[in-house]
Structure formats: C-alpha cells, structure tokens
Amino acid sequence: MKIILMGIQGSGKSTQGNLLSKKFKIAYLSSGHIFREMAKEKTSWGRYVKETMNAGVLIPDSKTIQIIEEYLKKPEYQIGFILDGFPRTAMQAKEFTHKIDNVFYINISDKEALWRLAYRNDIVREDETIAAIRVRIESFHKYTRPVISHYKRKKLLVEINGQQSIKKVHQDILKHLKVK
C-alpha cells in the first residue's frame, strides 16, 4: 500500500500518517521531518536547508526528488509507505516514479491552518513563524494545487474535510482507502 497525504501545513497530515502507519504497519515518511533533521547538520547544505525552511520557501525540486527516492530505497519502505509533504510541486509529481494507490487531500481553510499552528501545544519550531507560515500557505496554493489537480485527473485523489475531529478524519480516510 502506497499512500500520499496532502494538505496545507497544520492540516493533520502527520497525525493521520502516524495513525495509518500504526494501523497498517507500514512506514511513514515526512519530507518536513527529513528536512528539519538535515537543517540541524553543521554543513553548508544543512545551513542552506535551515535558511530556506525558515524563510518558508521550498527546497528545489531536483534535490527533493533525489532525497525522497533515496529514502524509499530503504528496506522499511519496500512493503509500502505513507508520504507526507511530497510531492509538493507538479514537477515532483511527474518525476516521482513509484506507483501510488491512494492520495488523500486533507482540506482545511487558511484561517484554520494559521490558528492550529499558532496554538499548537508542542514545541514551536524555527520554521513556524507567522511570516514563514504565511509564505508556506501561499506556496501551497501556488505550487501544490496543481499537484492536487494532477492526482484528481488520475482518479487517485480523495478530498477529506480536515476540519472535523481527528477520529472522523481518520474514519473518512479508512472509508476511502483502496487496500492492495
């Protein structure tokens, strides 16, 4: 089973990804988590990633695709995976070589995303300033909307109302999940 979770920052992708991973015992991979780990590295690449993310800007497509493809070669991803935050651009979606079974777009309003991120109970990350979040929301609409259309045309996309309870969002995903 190969699943992509899409949605604006704060939509609940990681919450749902972890729930699905636990239920189906398949690996969960968040591009945001990967890049936050890379940003901690004391290298020129690490500094670049950190500065790019803190500004709310996307990492270049070619580098993102290369990193995700490398991760997916690891043994834990061979039986299936849940991807969160990738693909983010039309180029990434077109260049991605893996056959996908399910794509879920967890849809929430921009206002809800800002509210959720501003009032999270966990640790506030450096890349979650209001300015960076606003840039990321604009980027989502500019770059990721075409990806949603791409998967809709392929008849893989299911839109989920992400403004419901965590449990209801999870139930809606399970209801539409194509298990292979």
Instruction: List the chain domain ranges.
Output: 2-176
Q: What is the pLDDT of residues 41-83, one digit of tens each?
A: 899 988 988 888 877 778 889 899 989 998 899 999 999 999 9
Q: Which CATH superfamily hosts domain 2-176?
A: P-loop containing nucleotide triphosphate hydrolases (3.40.50.300)
Identify the bridge partners of residue 29 per DSSP, sorted by sequence position.
Answer: 83
Q: What is the pLDDT of residues 74-130, one digit of tens each?
A: 999 999 999 998 999 999 999 998 999 999 999 999 999 888 877 665 655 666 677
CB burial of residue 122 (10 Å; 0-12, 13-18, 19+): exposed
Strand 81-84 with 27-30, pairing = parallel
Look up tokens 């194509």; give the residue. Answer: 178
- Give which of 121, 122, 93 is closest to 105, Cα–Cα: 93
Q: What is the pTM of this model?
A: 0.86
HSE, CB side, 13 Å, CA atoms: give it for residue 119: 6
